[in-house]
Amino acid sequence: MSTRLPKLVAFDLDYTLWDFWVDTHVHPPLRRHHVTGKVTDSQRNPKTIEFYRDVPQIMHRLQAAGVMIAACSRTDAPSLAREALDLILIPPRTGSDSSAKPIPAIKFFDQLEIYPSSKIRHFKKLHEKTGIPYDEMLFFDDEWRNQEVEELGVTFTLVSNGLNDQILEKGLEEWRKRHPVQVIEDVVGADGTLI
């Protein structure tokens, strides 16, 4: 079984990495508690701003493997989404040095395409900025309509109830199935030269 990974993995934000719509469920300003690190908004009953449980280790895994990570969101509140990514702290990787400190989530993202627009536009911008072919991109999103990116050659994976390890593996498996490693075997002629 192949363990090959795409060169770029992109994630929608709302209901893919976190359980809310940042432009309607979250009210600025956001705050990070100086002791707990917990991020909340300014509502009377503050909403906790955090990723789904498996997301931090998924980010560590992809980053350690050298995969480029992108956020692609069509939110109407791009600055608030960026602020949330800047304030959310991702704990050190499991099994890492005990002196390791949490890292702002935004540092895990190599590319941010966060603005109201079609996901097609987001991926065209990613391709333009990175030079990565569409067939080397995998995208996770909670909205079926965003499957439109497959027209470009991007592999799309629907996220029904937030990103988790099983959804990640399902997406990777589908991407590998569509893009198997092609091995070119050397053919040697009778005289010992490559044909």
pLDDT of 143-171, one tens digit each?
999 999 999 999 999 999 999 999 999 99
Q: What percent of the chain has pLDDT over 90?
A: 81
Q: Is the pLDDT of residue 39 over 80?
A: yes
157 - beta bridge partners?
140
Q: For residue 36, give the H/E element and its range.
A: none
The C-alpha angle with vertex 135 and arms to 134 and 141, in degrees rounded to 5, equals: 75
Cα–Cα distance for residue pair 100/33, rounded to 1 Å:
19
Partners of 103 in beta bridges: 90
Degrees to nearest 5, angle at CA 166 with 160 and 170: 85
82, 114 Cβ separation under 8 angstroms: yes
Q: Cα(first)–Cα(last) distance of the chain, in Å?
A: 29
> How many CA atoms lie within 13 Å of 43's alpha carbon, on the beta-carbon side?
12
Name the residue with higher pLDDT: 86 or 98: 86
pLDDT of the residue at 43? 81
- The amino acid at residue 171 is G
Res. 189: pLDDT tops 90: no
Mean pLDDT score, 2-23: 94
Confidence category of residue 182, pLDDT binned at 50, 70, 90: low
Residues marked active site are found at 12, 14
Write down the pTM of the prediction: 0.89
What does the mean pLDDT of the chain come to? 91
Q: How many helices (DSSP H) and strands (DSSP E) are in the chain?
A: 4, 9
